[in-house]
Amino acid sequence: MALEVIVLAAGQGTRMRSKRPKVLHEIGGRPMLSHVLETARALAPTRLHAVVGAGAEEIRARYASTPDVSWVEQEEQLGSGHAVLQAMPGISDEATVLVLYADVPLVGAATLEACVAASGERGGVALVTADTPTPDGLGRIVRDADGGVAAIVEDRDATDGQRAITEVNTGILAAPATLLGRLLGEVGNDNAQGEYYLTDIVGGAVAAGIPVTGLATDDPGEMLGVNDRVQLAEAERRYQRRNAEAAMRAGVTLRDPARFDLRGTLRAGEDCVIDVGVVLEGRVELGADVRVGAHCVVRDSVLADGVTVEPHTVIDGARIDRGAAVGPFARLRPGTELGEDTRIGNFVETKKARLGAGTKASHLAYLGDAFVGERCNVGAGTITCNYDGVDKHETRIGDEVFVGTNATLVAPLDVEDGAYIGAGSTITTRVAAEHLAVGRARQRNIKGWKPPAKRKR
């Protein structure tokens, strides 16, 4: 039977105290809604439907390039049952429907697959439950004498005895489309909030003798709902703990798993070591034996075997070859390519720079729009002046070039193999191979000169 997924994302999220729609608040650098959509896609559904309401325009704009989602607007927020009803006209009668929540971002595909399978096996309603020591505010699962699900009672409508129940409804359920539509049509709003609860279909199904299966998740943490920023932070930590455990199982040593943040994807070889406070963003690939020091940021970059990154370094959109060392306090910007055994030291910044094998820029330099050959030495204070206010220009430096301290290289410029640049020089024209270029003003020593403070006396 075909599967169609409805993701409820229409709530206002007033407890977040934010202008941004709740479902766009991020876990691991991505909106909560993105996490739920990605998990739903793992089940290979025929169609994905997202019900939006508060902040609908902003949400749809955020996903403008997401063609596999059908957007449904709930103009009035009249409860979860009403929200699902808005999506039902677009769903095939032959489908099984799975209902998810955009503010429950950690749910796993295995749990959802089990829920869908249970609905299919019995032809009834299947719902996911969780046992929690703190059930306040959540709907309680009331079971019959045989252990079947008899009803779900919302916290505000529960008796004292029902509030003592610790098994709670997660809101996630699956049912055949025709059955779900019929049960929703029977739901009323005679409750404290005057809303149409999706959970009320359980009572209707039980009364009609339709099987209702309750599946308790093995990991209640995956059912954590996010309603405020405290819960958002808790979900973030749970998500990052998952990432940390996956990395460690893949052979990565984390100095402190509680201080590791992955905001994208990580592929890592064996025996990598990542120190505390490291943030990995986008797509990051690490070879074997890579060392990343404390408080670094690595974004959309590839680091080959044996690369060392010293603390407080930012690497963004770079490719670093085997055995290179970077930092501390270095910044590699997009388009940087470092060859084998290169050295980029403290307070060195690169942008669209390619450095050949064995080249060193040990401290206090800027290399932008530059090609630097192999076995070069770039002295402290060296900069490539690549921007003339209108266009960017390239500096090309050959192999085995020595650039002295405080050199200013004004692009476009070619410095050929084996050339030397004298310290303190401003170089504006081509330097031939093995030549020494010196571009300094002649020094003058002025006898009897007095500093301004002494002149006033």
Q: Are 140 and 191 in contact (CB under 8 A)?
A: no
Q: How far apart are CA 450 and CA 277, in angstroms?
A: 52
Q: Are 384 and 359 in contact (CB under 8 A)?
A: no
| Pair of tokens at residue 94 | 């032959």
3 backbone dihedrals φ, ψ, rounded to 5°: -115, 130
Q: Are 336 and 326 in contact (CB under 8 A)?
A: no
- Among this protein's residues, is 435 annotated catalytic? no
* Strand 3-9 relative to strand 96-101, pairing: parallel
Q: How far apart are CA 2 and CA 44, in angstroms?
A: 9
Q: How far apart are CA 315 and CA 300, in angstroms?
A: 8
For 368-398, give the DSSP string: EEEEE-TT-EE-TT-EEE-B-SS-B--EEE-
Burial code (b: 16+ CB inside 10 Å, e: under 16) for 193-206 equals eebbbbbbbbbbbb
Catalytically annotated residue among 49, 363, 393, 435: 363
Cite the active site residues: 363
